[in-house]
Amino acid sequence: MKHIIAFDVSMGKSTVVVYDRYKRCKYEGELEHTISGFQSLKERIESLREQDGQIPDMVFEATGVYSKGLESFLQAQHYPYIRLNPLEAKLQMAAMRRHKTDISDAHELAKSHFKSDRQETYVQEDYFEQMQALGRYYEDIEKEIRHHHNRLHAFLQLSFPLLEKVFAKSSAMYLNIVQLYPHPACLHGISKEDLSKQIKQATRKNISDQKAEEKAALFITVAENSYAAITPDDVRCQHLRHYAKRILELVNQKKDIIKQMVELSKERVDFQVLVSFPGIGENTAVRLIAELGDIRRFKNPKQINAYAGIDIQRHQSGKLQYQDRINKRGNRRLRKILYFMVMSMISWRAKTKNTIVDYYDHLKKQPQGKPHKVAVIACANKFLKVAFHLIQHDILYHYESAKAS
C-alpha cells in the first residue's frame, strides 16, 4: 500500500500528516496555502511518488471555501484526491476521536483511511463550477429581493396601504408606480388621462388604452380612500422609492444571470435533454444543472436521490414502525427546484403529455391515493431516473418512447 497524506484544512492553512503502509506517522506539520507552501507540498508528493512508484493517497474534509485552495492546487497538478463531506468524515472517525484538535483530526483522518473504502473524488469540468457559482448568485439575489419586498410591503402599510390591491406585487408596473406615487397625496392634481399614460409606460407589456384607463380610475379611487399613517414628506416614502428601484435592478440582474447560464449551456447535452421535457424551461434547466453538477459522476439514480436528499429514511424498532420520510440530508436547493419543476409539469398537463404527470395521476388514484407532497417527491425521483438515463445516452425526451420503457 502507498503512503497517505491527510489534511485538516482551516482558513489559509492545513495541518498535514503523512503515514506509511505500516500505519506509522512519518511526518506532521503545517501547510500554508501560499505559492511557496504548495510548492513544498508538491516536492513532498513527488518524493513519495518516486519512493513508492505511485502517487500517495490524499484525503481531506471539505470545509467550504477554505478547502478550495488546496483542491484547486491538486487539480492543477492532476493529482487524484479524496474529498470527504463533513458528515461522512464524522461517521468514519467517530469511533477513533478522543480529543478535537487540528493535529488529532489529521491523524484520525489518516488512520481511518486504512479501514475505509474511499472513492477518488470525481473532478468536474470547470463549466459545472461556473454554473454552480452563477446558480448560487441567482439564489442570493432572490433572497435580497424577498427582503426588499418585505420592507416595501411594511412601509406601504404606513403610506399607501390600498395600493397593493391595484397592481400585482411582482410586476414591473407595480414597482415603477410605487416610485412615482409612494403616497396618496402624490396623486393630487393628476388627471386620469395622464395617469393612464404613466401606467402604460410603467410596463413593457403592450396593454390596451382601455385597460390602462380602468387601472387609472381604480388607482384614483383607491388613493382617495387610503388612510396614510405618515405624511408624503416622511423619509419612509423615500425608502419606498429606493426599495422599489432596487427590486427592479435585482430582477433584471436575475434575468441577466439566466441568459449567461443559457449561453454557457445551449450546446451541451445536459441542457438540451432537460429542456426537451414538457414543463421545463431554460430557467429551470440551467438551475438544475447548477445544483446537480455533472450527472455522469453518479453510478446510479439512487446516488442522485441521496445527493438531492429525497431517498427514503425508514425507522423501525421492534413492533413499532414510523412513517417513511425523505432524509433531507442532501442538497436542499436541488429539492426545491425539483419540487417546483414537478408542479410546473402538472400545470402543463392540458397542453402536453408527460410520463411524469401520468405517474403523479397514477399515485393519486391508487386505492389509497398518496398525499400531494408524497406524490410530487415520487415524481421528482422518477424524473431523476429518466434524466440520468437520457443524458448518459444523449437522447432527448419523447413521450411515446418514455411511456414504452
Give pLDDT tens digits for 106-132: 999 999 998 888 889 999 999 999 999
The rounded distance, in Å, linking the Cα atoms of 252 and 279 is 23
Same domain, 112 and 143: no
Same domain, 238 and 278: no
- Per-residue pLDDT at 308: 92
Same domain, 230 and 208: yes
**Which of the four pLDDT bands, split at 50, 70 and 90, describes residue 216?**
very high
pLDDT in tens, 311-370: 765 444 444 444 455 556 789 999 999 999 999 999 999 899 999 999 999 999 877 888
Q: What is the mean pLDDT of the chain?
A: 91
This prediction has a pTM of: 0.85
- Residue 69 scores a pLDDT above 50: yes
The rounded distance, in Å, linking the Cα atoms of 338 and 145 is 22
pLDDT in tens, 132-184: 999 999 999 999 999 999 999 999 999 999 999 999 998 999 999 999 999 99
**Which of the four pLDDT bands, split at 50, 70 and 90, describes residue 102?**
low
Domain end marker among 221, 237, 262: 262
The rounded distance, in Å, linking the Cα atoms of 386 and 383 is 5
Same domain, 395 and 359: yes
- Per-residue pLDDT at 325: 55
- Residue 234 scores a pLDDT above 50: yes
- Per-residue pLDDT at 402: 81
- Per-residue pLDDT at 253: 97
- Per-residue pLDDT at 314: 42
Domain end marker among 123, 143, 167: 123
Same domain, 275 and 252: no
More confident residue, 163 or 94: 163
- Per-residue pLDDT at 14: 96
Same domain, 45 and 164: no
Same domain, 233 and 359: no
**Dihedral over alpha carbons 164, 165, 168, 169 (to 10 degrees):** 20
Q: H or E stretch including 37?
A: helix 35-52
- Per-residue pLDDT at 100: 59
Q: What CATH number is given to the structural domain containing 41? A: 3.30.420.10
Same domain, 292 and 356: yes
Same domain, 140 and 51: no
Same domain, 251 and 297: no
Average pLDDT in the 23-51 region? Answer: 96
Domain end marker among 262, 294, 327: 262
The rounded distance, in Å, linking the Cα atoms of 210 and 385 is 50
Domain range enclosing 346: 268-404
Same domain, 81 and 208: no
Q: With contact defined as beta carbons under 8 Å apart, do 334 and 387 qualify? A: no
Same domain, 170 and 208: yes
Domain total in the chain: 3
